[in-house]
Structures are given as structure tokens and as C-alpha cells.
Structure 1
């Protein structure tokens, strides 16, 4: 089976949040946590197909923290 290293990026899009996959934004969410939940849910689905998946979460603008990387459980 062919596997890939895939990355979902949760990032701000104006006043909303989006999930970027393959550098293309997919969907808009009013809250960062809603975008994160959707990204992790889909990342888990893709992981079960045999791919290695990472979810990178941007911090709200102005936050003094770096982005966060989440890896779904194996």
C-alpha cells in the first residue's frame, strides 16, 4: 500500500478559521476549536487508510506562542 506524509493546517482566514490541505483552504469555521476538531476527525480517517498525518494549528493572531503540532494516536 502506498502511504504519504500528509499535513492539515488549521489557520486564520480573516475573522474565521480554515483547514488547509495541500495548500488549499477547505471550509470556514467561526471558532478555532471547531476547525481543529474537524481537522483531527478527518486526519484520523486518513490515518486509518495507512497515511502518516500531522495537524498543525496556528495560534490566534497576537498570541505569544508558536503554532502547535498534533499527531493523531497510532
Structure 2
């Protein structure tokens, strides 16, 4: 039994190399997350602008119809 070799030997250098690799990957993920947050904020601003335009459209249509009816009445009655 004393002749058996261990299945795996993990050295401090192996652990350090793996930690450095993981640190680099976390840095990359952090950069990508920040870029994604900026993209999401931009898309939310665009969606809000589209919503404001869409909901403003019926109000402007109603006011245009009222103005047209007023102009026709003014022409007919005046």
C-alpha cells in the first residue's frame, strides 16, 4: 500500500494559475455586463420615446378633428 501513488497532486502553483484564470474571466464578464447595462438603458429610452409618441398620437388626432369641425362650422355659419 505504501507503493501507491496519489491520484492527483494539486500544488499551490496550480491553484494560483486557476485563480488568475478565473480572475481574468470575471473581469471580462464584468466588462460585458457594463456594456449590456448601457445597451438596456438605451433600449428602454427608445421604448419610452415610442410609447410617448404612440400615446400622444390619439390626442393630436382628436384635437385635429375638433379643429376641422370648428373650421367647417365657422365656414358654414359665418
Q: What TM-score bracket applies, with the shorter chain setting the length?
A: under 0.3
Structure ranking higher in helix proportion: 2
Structure with the larger RCO, 1 or 2 (CA within 8 Å, 6+ apart): 1
User: In terms of Rg, which structure is larger?
Assistant: 2
